[in-house]
Amino acid sequence: MGKEPHKKDLVLLPLGGTGEIGMNMYLYGWGDARARQWIMVDCGVMFGDESTPGVEVILPDISFIEERKEQLLGILITHAHEDHIGAIPWLAHRLDAPVYATKFAALLMANKLAEAGWEDEVTVNVIKPGPGHAFRLGEIEVEYVPVTHSLPEPNSLVLRTPAGVAVHTGDWKIDETPIIPPAFSFERLRQIGDEGVQALICDSTNATREGTSPSEREVEASLEKLIREARGRVAVTTFSSHVGRIKAVSEAARAAGREVIVAGYSMRRVIEAARQCGLLDSSHAFLEEDAYGYLPRERCVLLCTGSQGEARAALSRVADDMHPRITLEEGDMVIFSSFTIPGNEKSVGHIMNRLAARGVDVIANSKDHLVHTTGHPCRGDLARYYELIRPERLIPMHGEMHHMLAHAEFAAEQGIKETAMLADGQMLRILPGPARVVGEVKSGRVFVDGRLLTAAGDGPVRARRRLSFVGIVVVSLVLDGKGNVRGPAQLIADGLPQFAADGEVMEDILLDAADDALDDMSRARRRVDEAVIDTVRRAVRRAAVTEWGKKPVVHVMVQRV
């Protein structure tokens, strides 16, 4: 009797986006274990924080799929947020795979690729959503289904395979009165549910929150009231990709007899893309920063970047009084029409406090002022999505671990028969069921360090983090070949206190420690560079610990004359 043939299955392998917010990258593999073909869904980034000094952008480790790029059929983009497209200019050219996206995301990616110099190396295909525009990648049929979110053209993806149907939701919420199209595809999702959906891979970000997500129309009404009643200038900061919010600010300003001035390159770039997609027409006029100087205060609305406290964004420079054309003063108002991404609280708080100290009225989302609404599903939204497509099993994704666990528990309460949890790097067989982990691959993070990509674990960021806590001392010594000291030691200390507790200069203390250590060495040992370096380094560190209580990084250089 011959061997049983290998069975084909559909596996899900996240390289980012599970157990964390951001860096979304999901691989779907179809075939048997020996010869799978792969599809990548989204190619996003995560942003650095205080724990990654010098690093603003973090990428997923793509070594697994890069080694198999001949089997990668395409990169499917669900929508244009940075945590879903931000890695395209860094990684797509290394994968030699076509990219598929709707027009708005394609335009933003084209700009990114051009800025990075890879526009001729990456093919971006503009596709249309809906059943009449489904297309095939290998044996998988892909259909884009419009949903609602906090930017234009968000989509869920339907993946039809010979083993069944999987739905990858992307980021979504249910907004029955969106400011910009598309509308949520209730009927189409119900039809897909009628086909039979074996697996739902679903956004978990708000799975701990009861109720439903407020509509953008409610935020629009609140912004209109605030702008109409304002005495001085009004500045509104939001996510630059939030075209619905940009449109709401424009219409609120027009209703109040005000003009809108745009500050921030990314905001202007998104507005241009929205115009090309027909989402903003000529009635939505946006002035350049130069207009700020001649508009009366009561006729000015500033729409600016910087809602997350980014140091180089427009609002941060305004708050620090460093912007060349824009200033705010007592009686003006700043509206943070956004939520603060975890990790950005300190930088956002700094900006708010700087503005408040100048007498500026700072408005953030609260029960009194609905100036932002989430773009992700709360439990009421999740329950409606389940009812539409009636999945056999749920795989939570896009969220920290407690979000995903809450999602799995909620799905079970709603009658979904099976839930399956996984982490980045784990390979989960999702079709045919039951779902189970069938392997694990290398995954992790890669830092964008200036123009270079560096390893997250052992790269220079680890050294920078240490330096930020303990500083550095560099000692320079001059000796001859016989071990005689031929000149005074030189020392530079950076990041250490200037004085010890008794008032003595810290550098003098450390320099004395270096000189004493050299004097105590025999001439024979001073002939050996390694012995000199080790002895002096230890002596300087001991002196620093005695006087300061911390161990700085110490480098010793020996020059022979």
Q: What is the predicted pLDDT for the residue at 488?
A: 87
Distance between CA 143 and CA 158 in Å, rounded? 5
Mean pLDDT of 342-350: 88
Q: What is the predicted pLDDT for the residue at 7?
A: 86
Do the beta carbons of residue 238 and residue 432 sit within 8 Å?
A: no
Distance between CA 73 and CA 37 in Å, rounded? 7
Distance between CA 115 and CA 118 in Å, rounded? 8
Do the beta carbons of residue 270 and residue 241 sit within 8 Å?
A: yes
Distance between CA 154 and CA 139 in Å, rounded? 24
Return all residues near 488 (Cβ < 8 A) that are at least 6 apart. none
Q: What is the predicted pLDDT for the residue at 327?
A: 95
Average pLDDT across the chain, whole number: 94
Q: What is the predicted pLDDT for the residue at 2?
A: 40
Q: What is the predicted pLDDT for the residue at 393?
A: 97
Mean pLDDT of 297-326: 94
Split at pLDDT 50, 70, 90, the class of 471 is: very high
Split at pLDDT 50, 70, 90, the class of 433 is: confident
> 155 has which bridge partners?
146
pLDDT tens by residue, 377-399: 999 999 999 999 999 999 999 99
Q: What is the predicted pLDDT for the residue at 301?
A: 97
Split at pLDDT 50, 70, 90, the class of 487 is: confident
Which DSSP string corresponds to 213-265? PPPHHHHHHHHHHHHHH-SS-EEEE--TT-HHHHHHHHHHHHHTT-EEEEE-H
Q: Which of 4-13, 168-177, 363-372, 530-539 has the lowest mean pLDDT?
A: 4-13
- Encode 347-381: b = buried (16+ Cβ within 10 Å), e = exposed: bbeebbebbeeeebbebbbeeebbbbbbbbbbbeb
Return all residues near 430 (Cβ < 8 A) that are at least 6 apart. 10, 11, 12, 166, 198, 199, 201, 393, 395, 420
> CB atoms < 10 A from the CB of 110, how many?
18
> CB atoms < 10 A from the CB of 434, how many?
11
Q: What is the predicted pLDDT for the residue at 408?
A: 97
Sign of dihedral through CA atoms 107, 109, 112, 118? Answer: negative
Distance between CA 268 and CA 241 in Å, rounded? 10
Distance between CA 195 and CA 161 in Å, rounded? 12
pLDDT tens by residue, 237-286: 999 999 999 999 999 999 999 999 999 999 999 999 999 999 999 889 99
Distance between CA 77 and CA 99 in Å, rounded? 7
Q: What is the predicted pLDDT for the residue at 1?
A: 36
The helix or strand, by DSSP H or E, that contains position 195, with its residue range, turns out to be: helix 186-195
Residue 559, phi-psi category: left (phi > 0), alpha (psi -120 to 50), beta (remainder):
beta
Sign of dihedral through CA atoms 35, 37, 41, 42? Answer: positive
The helix or strand, by DSSP H or E, that contains position 16, with its residue range, turns out to be: strand 9-16
Residue with tokens 């001439």: 523
Mean pLDDT of 533-541: 97
Domain 471-560 architecture: Roll (3.10)
Distance between CA 193 and CA 187 in Å, rounded? 10
Q: What is the predicted pLDDT for the residue at 450?
A: 87
Q: ∠ at Cα 339 (319, 398), nearest 5°?
A: 135
Do the beta carbons of residue 27 and residue 37 sit within 8 Å?
A: no
Mean pLDDT of 310-316: 92
Q: Which two tokens stand for residue 151?
A: 């930017």
How far is the CA of 502 from the CAs of 442, 505, 509, in angstroms?
53, 9, 11
Q: What is the predicted pLDDT for the residue at 117?
A: 94
Mean pLDDT of 418-431: 96
Q: In the chain, pLDDT over 70 holds for what percent of residues?
A: 99
Q: What is the predicted pLDDT for the residue at 6?
A: 58
User: Sheet of 37-41: strands edge to edge?
Assistant: 124-126, 99-101, 72-76, 37-41, 25-31, 9-16, 426-431, 436-440
- The residues spanned by each domain of the chain are 9-211+374-451, 222-363, 471-560
Mean pLDDT of 163-172: 98
pLDDT at 3 over 50: no
Q: Which of 201-205, 447-451, 491-495 has the lowest mean pLDDT?
A: 447-451
Alpha-carbon dihedral of residues 507, 513, 517, 518, nearest 10 degrees?
40
Alpha-carbon dihedral of residues 91, 95, 97, 100, nearest 10 degrees?
-20
Distance between CA 228 and CA 206 in Å, rounded? 32
Mean pLDDT of 542-548: 96
pLDDT at 156 over 90: yes
Q: Given this structure, which CATH class describes domain 222-363?
A: alpha beta
Return all residues near 3 (Cβ < 8 A) that are at least 6 apart. none
Q: Which of 54-58, 186-190, 198-202 has the lowest mean pLDDT?
A: 54-58
pLDDT at 455 over 90: no
pLDDT at 208 over 60: yes
pLDDT at 402 over 50: yes
Fold classified for 9-211+374-451: Metallo-beta-lactamase; Chain A (3.60.15)
Q: What is the CA radius of gyration of the chain?
A: 29
| 9-211+374-451 and 222-363, same CATH topology | no
Return all residues near 258 (Cβ < 8 A) that are at least 6 apart. 227, 234, 298, 299, 300, 301
pLDDT tens by residue, 24-79: 999 999 999 888 999 999 999 998 877 788 888 999 999 999 999 999 999 999 99
Residue 116: φ, ψ to 5°:
-85, -10
H-type alpha helices, 344-432 = 345-357, 379-389, 401-413
Do the beta carbons of residue 441 and residue 456 sit within 8 Å?
A: no
Residue with tokens 């303990």: 470
Q: What is the predicted pLDDT for the residue at 525?
A: 94
